[in-house]
Amino acid sequence: MSLNTTAFGLDFNTPLCLLSGNAGYGTEYLKVSGFNYDAVGAVFLKGTTEAERYGNPAERVTETPYGLMNAIGLQNPGAATVISELLPKLNWDGKPHFIPNISGFSIDEYASLARAFDQTPVPAIEINISCPNVKKGGAAFGNDPDLSAKVVEACRAVTSKPLIVKLSPNQTDIAEGARRCIDAGANALSAINTVSAMAIDIHTRMPRLGNNQGGLSGPAIKPIALLAVHKIYQVAKPHHIPIIGQGGITNAEDAIEFMLAGATLVGMGTALAKDPLIANKIIKGIQKYMNSYGFTHVSQLTGALELHDNSAGCTPASCLK
């Protein structure tokens, strides 16, 4: 049974990824007792901007039923420091792959970041066009297919490395957003980023987050993310563009659902805060499932979803049983 998989020209140990903003700059998790990268195919580094950023005022995270809201505000040391001081600490043997996540406040900034990472050993670049936590730039790009395409085009012009575009669920038609990003030169799509949200403290009558609003992640968004991946897959499949499915994965069943909906790789973000060793457990669960159903290669799960045939419409036999 094989858990190795291939996507956008790279080989991955396993289809599991650690998601941006939840695994630091790749070295932090190695300090967690018992952690090793064997179960992981890729680690997406924390969103990086040109200049260093201190992020948003506290509170930056708050729990909601079955979810987590965050408004970190892209705290990061800036691209120059990431490139000169943090990337050299990582292994570049592809086990796992370390992939930077770039976030810009203008199209020029995105292009400048893509150009800067193009000159490094990174195997691919993830473009965060959908971060809902910043007051200008990110949300507007990801929510508008025209602007999304312009960002991708600008990055495509300055790098030949694979570009992974991370799509926002906060747009009217995520499949249309995906189509425009593919046309503009995306090699892969991540879906979904966090869902714009708010929580209010009735005693202070103030929003719980210092930024007033934030992005919802965790199990609460999983059904939204699954439908998004299913819709994007219809657009991406004919172009052989792989999807990195994400949004609320906390166990093997969740990961398998995303693959059946069309994901080639799957990622965990919020779940890592509760259990940093979760990838090992998820891999075992995927192996067990593959054994039970006779799958020999993990890629056979991608898009294996079978839809109900509703072409006959509602009949007494189908609707009233």
Smallest distance, ligand FMN to C-beta of residue 312, A: 37
Structure letter (DSSP) for residue 243? E
Smallest distance, ligand FMN to C-beta of residue 222, A: 7
Within the chain, where are the H helices?
79-81, 107-118, 138-143, 145-156, 174-183, 222-236, 252-261, 271-274, 278-293, 316-319
Q: What share of the chain is helix, strand, coil (3-state, %, to 5)?
A: 35, 20, 45
Minimum CB distance to ligand FMN smaller for 233 or for 295: 233
DSSP of 140-162, one letter per residue? Answer: HHHH-HHHHHHHHHHHHTT--S-
Minimum CB distance to ligand FMN smaller for 165 or for 295: 165
Smallest distance, ligand FMN to C-beta of residue 56, A: 11
Q: Reply yes or no on whether 17 is catalytic.
A: no
Q: Classify residue 108 as left (phi > 0), alpha (psi -120 to 50) or beta.
A: alpha
Smallest distance, ligand FMN to C-beta of residue 101, A: 5
Task: Show the CA angle centred on residue 127, arms to residues 15 and 150, nearest 5°.
Answer: 135
Q: Which of 17, 131, 155, 181 is catalytic?
A: 131
Q: For tokens 């069309």, what's the residue?
A: 262
Q: For tokens 């086990």, what's the residue?
A: 95
Minimum CB distance to ligand FMN smaller for 101 or for 148: 101
DSSP of 161-191, one letter per residue? Answer: S-EEEE--SSSS-HHHHHHHHHHTT-SEEEE
Query: Which residue number places its CB atom closest to ligand FMN?
Result: 21
Smallest distance, ligand FMN to C-beta of residue 78, A: 14
Residue ranges binding ligand FMN (CB under 6 A): 19-22, 46-47, 68, 70, 72, 74, 101, 128, 131, 166, 193-194, 217-218, 221, 246-249, 268-271
Minimum CB distance to ligand FMN smaller for 46 or for 180: 46
Minimum CB distance to ligand FMN smaller for 15 or for 295: 15
Residues marked active site are found at: 131
